[in-house]
């Protein structure tokens, strides 16, 4: 590295080994971020995404920990911070465990909220002060149209994701003076294993004004823009990407 060349900024993407998370990782790496691909337990899948990034000329590494486990997450984050600040975090980790609330177990309720909401805190909180010292940061959380419109069988998922909206708007106010933006993207029906299992093609045509599912790369493009220098004045926003659903 030359004396004038800056080291690459580092980005952490939770749930980076999945369909959407993988697309986000590839996008950020293409924009020049040194990307940390996170998985819950399947480190091999995260390693595969990191390998694709490296093959394309980018820089990436893989890491695995449970975002719902506060101690494990903090230990992993502290280890990553030994190499320097992480100036971008995309909170993409989330799970479904659907049921009508009348028949929902306490375990179903708590686990979904543990991953999406408590995971947001466990991962983001330790990154804030090192990020603030650099006077630049990008925090993007992936929510869902279910958090905006509601969806039958997903009171737990909608509650967890809607909580990210309030948390992100509040955190944006806390960190804006340090050059840090905090935003949320709320996708609708996006192509991938989850959509294929939940929605037949005919149902998608009826539900979505655009008459199709979105693509992971379309969501990744929005996330990539929010993480760019050009998006520095977009802060505390929840941005839908749902083909016109609402």
Query: The domain that contains 227 carries what CATH number?
Result: 3.40.50.720
Averaged pLDDT of the chain: 95
Question: Percent of the chain, pLDDT > 90?
Answer: 91
What is residue 2's predicted lDDT score, i.e. its pLDDT? 46
CA separation for the pair 173, 168 (Å, rounded) = 9
Residue 4 lies in a domain: no
Q: Give 101-156 pLDDT, tens digit per residue.
A: 999 999 999 999 999 999 999 999 999 999 999 999 999 999 999 999 999 999 99
Catalytic residues: 157
**Domain count along the chain:** 1
CA separation for the pair 160, 115 (Å, rounded) = 9
Residue 2 lies in a domain: no
Name the nearest CA neighbour of 37 among 82, 5, 80, 70. Answer: 80
CA separation for the pair 227, 11 (Å, rounded) = 9
Domain that holds residue 119: 10-241
Residue 209 lies in a domain: yes
Residue 109 lies in a domain: yes
CA separation for the pair 245, 100 (Å, rounded) = 22
Residue 133 lies in a domain: yes
Residue 233 lies in a domain: yes
Q: Angle CA(79)–CA(11)–CA(164) in degrees, nearest 5?
A: 95
What is residue 199's predicted lDDT score, i.e. its pLDDT? 80
- Least confident residue range of 35-49, 52-66, 193-207: 193-207
Residue 83 lies in a domain: yes
CA separation for the pair 44, 63 (Å, rounded) = 10
What is residue 5's predicted lDDT score, i.e. its pLDDT? 53
Name the nearest CA neighbour of 101 among 90, 112, 92, 93. Answer: 112
The packing angle between helices 70-81 and 119-133, to 10°, is 20
Q: pLDDT band at 4, cuts 50/70/90? A: very low
Residue 141 lies in a domain: yes
More confident residue, 202 or 86: 86
């Amino acid at each position: 590295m030359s004396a004038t060349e800056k080291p690459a900024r580092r980005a952490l993407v939770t749930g980076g080994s999945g369909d959407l998370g993988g697309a986000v990782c590839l996008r950020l790496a293409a924009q020049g971020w040194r990307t940390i691909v996170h998985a819950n337990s399947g480190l091999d899948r995260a390693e595969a995404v990191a390998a694709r990034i490296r093959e394309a000329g980018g820089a990436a590494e893989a890491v695995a920990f449970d975002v719902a486990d506060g101690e494990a997450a903090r230990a992993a984050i502290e280890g990553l911070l030994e190499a320097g600040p992480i100036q971008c975090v995309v909170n993409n980790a989330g799970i479904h465990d659907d049921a009508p609330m009348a028949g929902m177990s306490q375990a179903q309720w708590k686990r979904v909220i543990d991953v999406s909401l408590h995971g947001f805190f466990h991962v983001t909180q330790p990154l804030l002060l090192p990020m603030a010292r650099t006077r630049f940061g990008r925090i993007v959380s992936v929510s869902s149209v279910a958090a905006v419109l509601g969806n039958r069988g997903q009171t737990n998922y909608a509650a967890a994701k809607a909580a990210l909206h309030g948390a992100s708007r509040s955190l944006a106010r806390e960190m804006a003076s340090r050059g840090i933006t905090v935003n949320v993207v709320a996708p609708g029906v996006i192509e991938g294993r989850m959509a294929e299992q939940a929605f037949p093609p005919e149902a998608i045509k009826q539900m979505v004004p655009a008459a199709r599912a979105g693509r992971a790369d379309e969501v990744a493009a929005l996330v990539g823009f929010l993480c760019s220098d050009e998006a520095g004045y977009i802060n505390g926003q929840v941005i839908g990407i749902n083909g016109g659903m609402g």
